[in-house]
């Protein structure tokens, strides 16, 4: 099952080329404009990106968010409208990028991986963010808009988000993306507990498939979430003029959250690996248990088969001194059966005394 769609260019394609997305890759494109100061707040959905251009020239913080699938020509127009670098536009279009941060003349371009908490299974979406002196332009290729909680904070003026610059809004976006990992990892923890109970009770072949799927998903999470630490570490060093000194301490707190997520992820990976070993040990133990029972049954029937084979030859000749005298006994048959039963009970007693049963 593909967890994210990775698009790429054919070899030899010039840099900055935009390739059309496959149909149905995500939801329909919507454009959300948020413009605010300490006193004013505007939040609306616009039909065309050029409607947002005048707000960038105001003395306010402008956040333009593109949600859903975007076609190459529309993205090309957006890049020209807001003076975005062609290489960054290529990374926006090619979803599935490794999280990273690139620095341009008066912009920072950040790619992050966001976990979809509403999806029934583990799903990773790409979030691309441009930050300038007084604006943020973000792209999210998923179906659901994950930034509604942040807009509610902006609308209510909760905390200091309305009184600070665009770098603090960037911190809010990054923090929300990072914190999306906690509920997803909580689901992984519950699944690991269920698999552990199944392993101890009655593991089946499907249990092994669930363990392999869990390990594969955790490996993908590690590959997509591990670079977040490098991104936040780069931003929190304070080497870029777009990131103010007052925001650095909040970015360090966000860095701590990313460390917590990676610690949980590593613990779950170790637990998934140990569950695989437990399953193999349990399967080996059950196989050994079955083989022990079959070996005991076969061992019990070996002398019985020997006795039955001897008396099954039916060499009965009254004139021969080597004939079987037992064949002519009046109680020969019940005596042989009784001797077989004594052998069976004697062997069972011996096996139990040796703790083989």
pLDDT tens per residue, range 274-296: 888 888 777 777 778 788 888 88
pLDDT mean over 244-268: 91
Q: What is the pLDDT of residues 38-93, one digit of tens each?
A: 888 899 999 888 888 888 888 899 999 999 888 888 888 888 888 888 889 888 88
Q: What is the DSSP string of 212-255?
A: HHHHHHHHHHHHHHTHHHHHHHHHHTT-STTS-HHHHHHHHHHH
For 46, the 3-state DSSP assignment is strand
Rounded-to-integer distance, Cα 205 and Cα 228, Å:
36
pLDDT of residue 1: 45
Task: State the pLDDT confidence band at 27, using cuts at 50, 70 and 90.
Answer: low
Q: What is the pLDDT of residues 298-329, one digit of tens each?
A: 888 888 888 888 777 776 666 777 777 777 77
The three-point CA angle 283-289-290 to 5° equals 90
pLDDT of residue 334: 85
| CATH-assigned architecture of domain 30-282 | 2-Layer Sandwich (3.30)
Q: What is the pLDDT of residues 322-345, one digit of tens each?
A: 777 777 777 878 888 888 899 888
pLDDT of residue 137: 93
* Whether the predicted pLDDT of 119 surpasses 80: no
pLDDT of residue 98: 87
pLDDT mean over 117-134: 85
Task: State the pLDDT confidence band at 23, using cuts at 50, 70 and 90.
Answer: very low
Output the CA–CA distances (angstroms, integers) from residue 231 to 104, 109, 141, 171, in the order listed: 15, 11, 20, 12
Terminal CA-CA length for the chain: 46
Task: State the pLDDT confidence band at 8, using cuts at 50, 70 and 90.
Answer: low
Q: In a 10 Å sphere around its CB, with 0-12 CB exposed, 13-18 middle and 19+ buried, how is residue 205 labelled?
A: exposed
pLDDT of residue 14: 61
* Whether the predicted pLDDT of 113 surpasses 80: yes
Phi and psi torsions of 74, nearest 5°: -65, -40
pLDDT of residue 211: 86
**142-154: b (≥16 Cβ within 10 Å) or e:** bbeebbeebbebb
Nearest alpha carbon to residue 242 among 165, 176, 162, 129: 165
Whether 174 contacts 127, CB under 8 Å: no
CATH 3.30.460.20 placement within the chain: 30-282
* Whether the predicted pLDDT of 175 surpasses 90: yes
Rounded-to-integer distance, Cα 326 and Cα 51, Å:
111
Q: What is the DSSP string of 176-190?
A: HHHHTHHHHHHHHHH
Question: What pTM, to 2 d.p., does this model score?
Answer: 0.76
In CATH terms, the fold of domain 285-353 is Methane Monooxygenase Hydroxylase; Chain G, domain 1 (1.20.58)
pLDDT of residue 276: 81
* Whether the predicted pLDDT of 128 surpasses 90: yes
pLDDT of residue 171: 93
Q: What is the pLDDT of residues 205-235, one digit of tens each?
A: 888 888 888 888 888 888 888 899 999 999 9
Percent of the chain with pLDDT over 70: 90
Q: Return the minimum-mean-pLDDT range out of 1-15, 84-98, 122-136, 248-262.
A: 1-15
pLDDT of residue 258: 92
The three-point CA angle 152-153-158 to 5° equals 140
HSE (side-chain half, CA atoms, 13 Å) at 339: 12
- Residue 215 contacts by C-beta under 8 Å, 6 or more apart in sequence? 269, 272, 273, 276
Phi and psi torsions of 22, nearest 5°: -70, 150
Q: Per the structure block, which two tokens stand in for 128?
A: 């691309």
Whether 31 contacts 53, CB under 8 Å: no
Task: State the pLDDT confidence band at 20, using cuts at 50, 70 and 90.
Answer: low
* Whether the predicted pLDDT of 118 surpasses 80: no
pLDDT of residue 6: 57
Rounded-to-integer distance, Cα 146 and Cα 151, Å:
10
pLDDT of residue 133: 87
pLDDT of residue 212: 86
Beta-carbon count within 10 A of 241 CB: 10
H helices of the chain, in order, are 53-56, 72-82, 86-93, 148-156, 166-179, 181-201, 205-225, 227-236, 245-311, 332-353
* Whether the predicted pLDDT of 245 surpasses 60: yes
CATH 1.20.58.340 placement within the chain: 285-353
């Amino acid at each position: 099952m593909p967890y994210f769609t990775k698009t790429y260019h054919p070899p030899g394609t010039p840099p900055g080329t935009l390739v059309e997305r496959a149909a149905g890759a995500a939801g329909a494109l919507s454009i959300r404009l948020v413009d605010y100061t300490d006193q004013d707040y505007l939040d609306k959905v616009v039909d065309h990106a050029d409607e947002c251009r005048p707000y960038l020239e105001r003395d306010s913080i402008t956040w333009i968010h593109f949600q859903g699938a975007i076609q190459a020509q529309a993205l090309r127009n957006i890049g020209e409208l807001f003076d975005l670098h062609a290489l960054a536009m290529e990374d926006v279009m090619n979803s599935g990028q490794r999280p990273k941060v690139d620095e341009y003349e008066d912009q920072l371009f950040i790619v992050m991986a966001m976990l979809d908490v509403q999806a029934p299974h583990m799903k990773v979406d790409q979030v691309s963010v441009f930050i300038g002196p007084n604006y943020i332009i973000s792209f999210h290729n998923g179906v659901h808009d994950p930034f509604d909680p942040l807009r509610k904070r902006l609308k209510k003026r909760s905390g200091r988000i309305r009184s600070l610059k665009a770098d603090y809004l960037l911190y809010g976006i990054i923090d929300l993306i990072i914190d999306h990992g906690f509920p997803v990892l909580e689901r992984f923890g519950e699944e690991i507990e269920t698999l552990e109970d199944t392993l101890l009770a009655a593991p089946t072949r499907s249990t092994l498939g669930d363990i392999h799927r869990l390990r594969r998903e955790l490996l993908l999470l590690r590959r997509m979430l591990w670079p977040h630490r490098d991104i936040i570490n780069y931003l929190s060093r304070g080497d870029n003029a777009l990131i103010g000194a007052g925001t650095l301490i909040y970015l360090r707190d966000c860095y701590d959250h990313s460390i917590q997520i990676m610690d949980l992820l590593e613990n779950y990976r170790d637990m998934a690996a140990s569950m695989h070993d437990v399953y193999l040990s349990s399967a080996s133990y059950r196989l050994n248990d079955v083989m022990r029972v079959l070996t005991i049954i076969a061992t019990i029937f070996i002398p019985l088969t020997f006795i039955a084979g001897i008396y099954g030859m039916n060499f009965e000749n009254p004139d021969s001194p080597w004939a079987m005298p037992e064949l002519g006994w009046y109680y020969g048959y019940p005596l042989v059966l009784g001797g077989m039963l004594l052998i069976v009970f004697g062997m069972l007693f011996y096996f139990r005394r040796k703790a083989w049963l």
